[in-house]
Amino acid sequence: MENITSKIIKSPCLFENLDNSLKNNYRNKKIQLVSFVNPYSYMILRKEKKSNMNVDFFYSDSFISSIIFSIIARRKIARVSFDYSSFAKYFLDKVSESNDSVYFIGSKQNEIEKTIGIFKSKYPNLKIAGYRHGYFKDENEVNTIVNNIIASKANFVICGLGTPFQEKFGTKLKNSYSSNIKIIYTCGGFLHQSSNKIQYYPHWINKFNLRWLYRLLKEKYTLKRILIQYPQFLFFSFYDHITNQFKNR
């Protein structure tokens, strides 16, 4: 069985994959589930075997994890994330020029409303099939939301529920066999971050790969992640890769 690192190494170019999905008729084809990992989410997802099996493509969304995955892969693994400094801008630019529609789910109700308002202002041609906050009472409500997304006939779903809930929700949606959905993308905190402004990181922060420092200063929980999960990631990323190599022999 492929682990997260193996899928990162084998995943196609994220941008080209989107372009192909916009060009081709995906009706009745397999729904793709795409997710992104950093040291923190890797430590959570490595234990979620069932969810990992259903994710088609993983990508590295932090500078540190990209360095480690590049060492393991023995080739450059680029940092790519669903935020406006990376893939999110490309996605919104491309989809707003197409006939495809998008469903957004995640964040709190007031935040998702602000985010959608910003999207509509910046991308007036973007076809929004629907949107919803990311909090559920129980499994029955989850099933209802899945059915609502299918009924909206959205072609893309952007899911920002946090790890591992967004991967689990994406798996349930993927297994719904909708004939309209092409790709489900997890987006972490993108919908929450975009509720104030769509470009969360200042230009100079992106230029010098200091996103971790920016988040450290703005988000209190980031320090705990850096001190605990990051060292664990350094060990377990290599451990998981070596273990998987032996299992597949």
Which DSSP state fits 132? Answer: E
Residue 2: the pLDDT is: 78
Is the pLDDT at 31 greater than 60? The verdict is yes
Catalytic residue numbers, as ranges: 111
CA–CA dist 128, 189 (Å, integer): 19
Q: What is 159-199 written as a DSSP string?
A: EES-TTHHHHHHHHHHTT--SS--EEEE-TTHHHHTTT-S-
Q: Could you report the per-residue pLDDT of 128-139, keeping only the tens digit for each? A: 999 999 999 999
Stated pTM of the model: 0.90
Residue ranges in the chain assigned as alpha helix (H): 4-10, 14-23, 39-45, 49-54, 63-73, 87-96, 109-122, 139-151, 165-174, 190-193, 203-207, 211-218, 221-224, 230-247
For the chain, the residue count is 249
pLDDT band at 217 (very low <50, low <70, confident <90, very high): low
